[in-house]
Amino acid sequence: MTLLTPPLPGGDTAIAPQSTGRTATPRHLLMCPPVHFDVVYAINPWMDVSVPVDTGLAVVQWQALKAAYEARGHTVDVVRPEPGLPDMVYAANGAVVVGGRALAARFTYPERQPEGVAYEAWLRTTGARHGIVSLGQAVERNEGEGDLLWDGEVLLAGTGFRTTREAHAEAAARLDVGVLTLELVDPRFYHLDTALAVLSTASGTRGTEGAAAAEIAYFPGAFTPASLAVLRERYPDAIEASEDDAAVLGLNAVSDGRHVFLTDRATGMHAALRERGFEPVGVDLSELLKGGGSVKCCTLELRPARTTEVAA
C-alpha cells in the first residue's frame, strides 16, 4: 500500500520515502524575492512590455516555491533585491558555484549588468560564512547557472545567445572543472537552463566500478545537430521533452535527486518524471514566466567544497 503524507507546498502530494527508490539530497539554495519584478524592457522573446505584470502575485508565487523547497528539507538563503533591477529575481543567472568556489556573472545586456555586482557582493560576504570562496566576476560574458549546469562530473555549458565560448574556457580554468559546450539555436531557449535540466548528478568517475551517471531531460529542438548528437551519446537514457512542455519552460527545473520542482503547466514532463521514479512538484510561476523564467531561473545552488553530491 502506498502511504501518503498531507499535501505540501508546491501542489503535488508527497509520497512517503518507502514508495520510491530515489533519494533526495539536501540542497543549499539562494533566491531573490521579486519585489521589484516588472517587464520594462524586452531582451528575450518571452518579454512583452505591453503585458501587465502583477508584482504582488509574483511575490506570492515565489514564496510558494521557496516554501516547497523548505518543506522538503532544503536550505534557502535570500539575497536582498535591488531597486531598478527587475530581473534580479532570476538568481540562477547571478553566478555558478561548484566545489565551494563561486564565479559571478557578467551579463550581456546593460539592463542586467548590475546584477552581477550584487550577487558577487553577497557571495563575497554572506556566502563566505557558508564556506564559499568568491572568485569575483567573470571576465567573459557569462550568465551563471543560466548557461552553466553541473552534472556532478562536468559543467554543461550553453552558448549561442548569452554566454560565450570564451566564458566556458574561463569557467573551466577558474572553477577547475571539465566543460562540455552545447550550442543553442532557438531564441525562446536563450539560456541552457530553459532547454535542459539535470535530474540527478553523477557519482564517482565515469567508467569506474559503482559509478552512477547523471540523468538529464532536454528539448532536442533547442540544440544544433552537433550538440544534439553529443547529448544523445553522453546521456542515452535522457528524457527528451516535447515542444509543448518546453514551451512553458517545463525544463527550467530544480531536482534534488528525487523531487523535481517545475512548472505545473508541463504535464507531459510530470508524467515522464513519474515513469522514471521521480516525484514532480508542480509550482505556478505564471507571473515570472512573463520575464522568461521559471523554477530554475529563480534558484541558484550553492555547492560547498565539503559536500559530495550523491546520485539518486
pLDDT tens by residue, 228-248: 999 999 999 999 999 999 999
- Residue 65 pLDDT greater than 50, yes or no: yes
Whole-number pLDDT of residue 21: 86
Residues 156-183: tens digit of each pLDDT: 999 999 999 999 999 999 999 999 999 9
Task: Let me know if residue 309 belongs to a domain.
Answer: no
CA distance 46 to 277: 32
CB atoms within 10 A of CB 166: 14
Residue 145 to residue 22: CA distance in whole angstroms = 25
Does residue 310 fall inside a structural domain?
no
59 belongs to a structural domain: yes
- Compute the mean pLDDT over every residue in the chain, rounded to the nearest whole number: 92
Residue 12, domain member (yes or no):
no
C-alpha cell at 179: 566543460
Say which CATH number the domain at 87 has.
3.75.10.10
Element (H or E) spanning 75, and its range? strand 75-78
Greater pLDDT, 17 or 193: 193
* Predicted confidence band of residue 4 (pLDDT cuts 50, 70, 90): very low
The pLDDT assigned to 275 comes to: 98
Judged against a pLDDT cut of 90, whether residue 268 lies above it is answered with yes
Residues with a catalytic annotation lie at 191, 297
Arithmetic mean of pLDDT, 20-29:
92
pLDDT beyond 70 at 8: no
Residue range of the domain that includes 96: 24-301
Residue 307, domain member (yes or no): no
Q: CB within 8 A of 28, min separation 6: which ones?
A: 74, 75, 77, 130, 301, 302, 303, 304
**Could you tell me whether strands 95-98 and 101-104 are parallel, antiparallel, or unpaired per DSSP bridges?**
antiparallel
CA–CA gap between residue 146 and residue 81 (Å, rounded): 19
CA distance 31 to 306: 22
Cell of 36: 521589484
**Total structural domains within the chain:** 1
Burial class (CB in 10 A: 0-12, 13-18, 19+), 271: exposed
